[in-house]
Structure 1
Amino acid sequence: MAGAENSRAAAMVRRFTRAETWVHRSLAWLMGVCAFTAAALYVPQLAEIVGRRRLVVTVHEWSGILLPVPVLAGLVSRAFRADAGRLGRFFPHDWRWLRALVRTRRREPSLAGKFNAGQKLYAAFSVGAVLVMIGTGVLMWFPRLSPLFWRTGATFVHDWLALLIGVVIAGHVWLAAKDPEARRGLRTGHVPRWWIRQEHPLWKPDRPPPHRK
């Protein structure tokens, strides 16, 4: 019995630390609150059900402002910083992954490290989008800080980018729903070795991350 348990433990690899799973979970909750309150503000039928518009606006504003907090707190973790570095670097195999996706409309797992090129693009888009949303949101939140045409432009960008973010997040959730092992990695921090060989074969968990020359 003990041998079987040891064998199962040996077949699992830590993909994320507790700090990293906390960051992801916190961001997911904050983003979910932002999305729900935004919908409650812009969809009349939902607005009627929720009511209390002033409270919804306040919750939306503060959940948006707090979005960078989990990331900044996560920087205390060495593992989080290492993975942030991985997500921020594109290697030749990442470009080949993207070219294969464009040509065949399918992912190419053999060209994926710990994070594939799609995940890296999603992370880059998320960081940029959150910064733009916070910037435009502040202009809308404090109207006296800027002239009218700035606020008009900020409102336009904020609204349409919010719609794009919703579409991208829906795609992210849909892809995650198709990969239970990836979800387990985010929930527990561990994934099986066979999944790494199948989906992220260029990632060698027992080796240090590569450095750009």
Structure 2
Amino acid sequence: MSPRPDADRAASDVRRFSPAVRWTHRATALLMGVCVLTAALLYVPALAQLVGRRALVVTVHEWTGVALPVPVLVGLGSRALRADLSLLNRFGAHDGRWLRAALRRDKRPSSRPAHKFNAGQKLYAAWAAGATLVMLGTGLMMWFTHLTPLMWRTGATFVHDWLALTLGIVLAGHIGMAMADPEARRGMRTGSVSRVWAEHEHSLWRP
């Protein structure tokens, strides 16, 4: 009796993400999505008129923004998440090679060496973390108006609004790249990826 195809596939898979990492990513993505959606409802006139109930949208936006760091803070109790964050925060010479190859649009695996996370993913994670903290800080200044001078609140509003636009664009790029890589999505959905994909996209990673 020949082995089942599912069993063959499972045997060729490697573990990429733990359940804690995947749930942290999902919860963060959900909260970020609500933040972006409610921001669009607040700042795009056509959407604002379509939905109405501005006070409710503002409340949902504010509390979702405050909750945004919570999944990562809770997830820090997981050793696997801490290990992944450590890898995301560590840049090496191979990351420079990966970035140069990406700028040249050179997709050969030999030209784009990567560990568990490539340089693009590391830069995105660092930028997203920094942007989230800035958005949280400026958002709190706009929310609790009695705590800061008017000049600070004016600057916070400017930074918050333009950073929100930038964040939306970068998130769209992140989603677009994920949609173009089904195996990467499977890794975040199920925790496992094929060994062939891992060796092709992350040649320096030894799971």
Bucket of the pairwise TM-score, normalised by the shorter protein: over 0.9
Q: Partner of 2:177: helix, strand, or coil? A: helix
User: How far apart, CA to CA, are the structure 2 residues paired with 1:141 and 1:17?
Assistant: 36
User: How far apart, CA to CA, are the structure 2 residues paired with 1:157 and 1:175?
Assistant: 27
- CA offsets per residue over residues 168-209 of structure 1, 9 Å max, x none? 00000111110000001111111010110111111000xxxx
Amino acid at match of 1:66: A
Contact 1:97 1:107 in 2 (8 A): no
Q: Counterpart of 2:162?
A: 160
Q: Counterpart of 1:181?
A: 183
Shift in alpha-carbon separation, 1:146–1:78, aligned structure 2, 3 A: same
Superposition map of 1:69-80 within 5 A: 69-80=70-81
Structure 1 segments unaligned to the other structure (5+ residues): 206-213
Q: Which of 128, 135, 138 lines up with 1:136 in the alignment?
A: 138
User: How far apart, CA to CA, are the structure 2 residues paired with 1:69 and 1:191?
Assistant: 28
Structure 1 window deviating more from structure 2 (84-93 vs 3-12): it is: 3-12
Q: How many residues matched? A: 204
Aligned residues with identical type, % of pairs: 64
User: How far apart, CA to CA, are the structure 1 residues paired with 2:206 and 2:34?
Assistant: 36
Instruction: Quote the offset at 1:2 in angstroms.
Output: 7.2
Q: Which of 193, 196, 202 lines up with 1:194 in the alignment?
A: 196
Q: Partner of 2:17: helix, strand, or coil? A: coil
Q: Does 1:105 align with 2:102?
A: no
Q: Counterpart of 1:40?
A: 41
Q: Partner of 2:3: helix, strand, or coil? A: helix
User: How far apart, CA to CA, are the structure 2 residues paired with 1:99 and 1:56?
Assistant: 43
TM-score (norm 2): 0.95
Q: Counterpart of 2:63?
A: 62
Structure 2 segments unaligned to the other structure (5+ residues): none
Q: Counterpart of 2:123?
A: 121
Contact 1:129 1:165 in 2 (8 A): yes
User: How far apart, CA to CA, are the structure 2 residues paired with 1:93 and 1:190?
Assistant: 24
Instruction: Quote the offset at 1:101 in angstroms.
Output: 2.1
Q: Counterpart of 1:31?
A: 32
User: How far apart, CA to CA, are the structure 1 residues paired with 2:143 and 2:36?
Assistant: 17
User: How far apart, CA to CA, are the structure 1 residues paired with 2:2 and 2:157?
Assistant: 60
User: How far apart, CA to CA, are the structure 1 residues paired with 2:156 and 2:81?
Assistant: 32
User: How far apart, CA to CA, are the structure 1 residues paired with 2:53 and 2:82?
Assistant: 40
User: How far apart, CA to CA, are the structure 2 residues paired with 1:3 and 1:99?
Assistant: 43
User: How far apart, CA to CA, are the structure 2 residues paired with 1:107 and 1:37?
Assistant: 37
Instruction: Quote the offset at 1:13 in angstroms.
Output: 1.0
Instruction: Quote the offset at 1:11 in angstroms.
Output: 0.5
Instruction: Quote the offset at 1:156 in angstroms.
Output: 0.2
Instruction: Quote the offset at 1:108 in angstroms.
Output: 5.4
Q: Partner of 2:116: helix, strand, or coil? A: coil
User: How far apart, CA to CA, are the structure 2 residues paired with 1:190 and 1:199?
Assistant: 14
Q: Partner of 1:3: helix, strand, or coil? A: coil
Shift in alpha-carbon separation, 1:2–1:15, aligned structure 2, 3 A: farther
